[in-house]
Amino acid sequence: MDLFIIGDVHGCFFTYLKLLEQWNPKSEYLIQVGDLIDRGNHSLKTLRLSYEIQVAFKKQTIFLKGNHEQLMQHHLLGKDPFKNWQRNGGTKTLLQFEKEGVDPYHYLSWIKNLPLFWENKKVFISHAGISAEGIDPFLPDDPNGLLWNRQPLKKTDKLQVIGHTPRLDGKPEYIPSANAWNIDTGAYKGNCLTGIKLKKDGSFLEAISVPTDSRDIEE
């Protein structure tokens, strides 16, 4: 099976739907790097769709945890005394849940159990990547860990694929020094949502970018 890896969606539901048209579940694993929620206009719809896709295609889908899912988890568990989630888009997301009459706790178990990474023998995929500076990248609240890192990436024996840090030019970037792809192309900023297709050995096949649908970001 090949890999179809989608970057940070951030509530851009209609853009996400368009990009998902490019996924072939018969021949590709769908892997999403986290940050499904916050910023855009449709966090609930994006979260619900992802959950339903995973239920329908359990063996072909991997949804990873992003720092925004971690923030939401801390908020719902009462571990966010400084309201970090609300200050980073959570207030808007909660209003979307309220408007639709959906209890955000409905998705808490699913969010808690999202993995921090996916890997095979040649590829390592996470939200923010293995930092060259970090000591233990697998600590979910560490600023240099797999959910939060913005330091240069460590070059390992595997191709890394990450999101988290938006590419201001709206183009996915291959970083030769780290043998890594950054595929966060700033969907919520009005750029585009990107997915890349790889062979299971990490060989690049293609990048597909869908311009952000205005319904996802206009107030």
Tell me the pTM: 0.98
Give me 26's structure tokens: 């018969």
Say how many Å lie between the first and final Cα of the chain, rounded. Answer: 40
Give me 112's structure tokens: 């808690």
Distance of CA 176 to the CA centre of its chain: 22
- Count CB atoms within 10 A of the CB of residue 203: 12
Helix, strand, coil percentages, rounded to 5, for the chain: 30, 20, 50
Encode the chain (219 residues) as per-residue pLDDT tens digits: 999 999 999 999 999 999 999 999 999 999 999 999 999 999 999 999 999 999 999 999 999 999 999 999 999 999 999 999 999 999 999 999 999 999 999 999 999 999 999 999 999 999 999 999 878 999 999 999 999 999 999 999 999 999 999 998 999 999 999 999 999 999 999 999 999 999 999 999 999 999 999 999 998
- Beta-bridge partner residues of 210: 193
3-state secondary structure of 86: helix
List Cβ neighbours of 56 (8 Å cut-off, separation of 6 or more). Answer: none
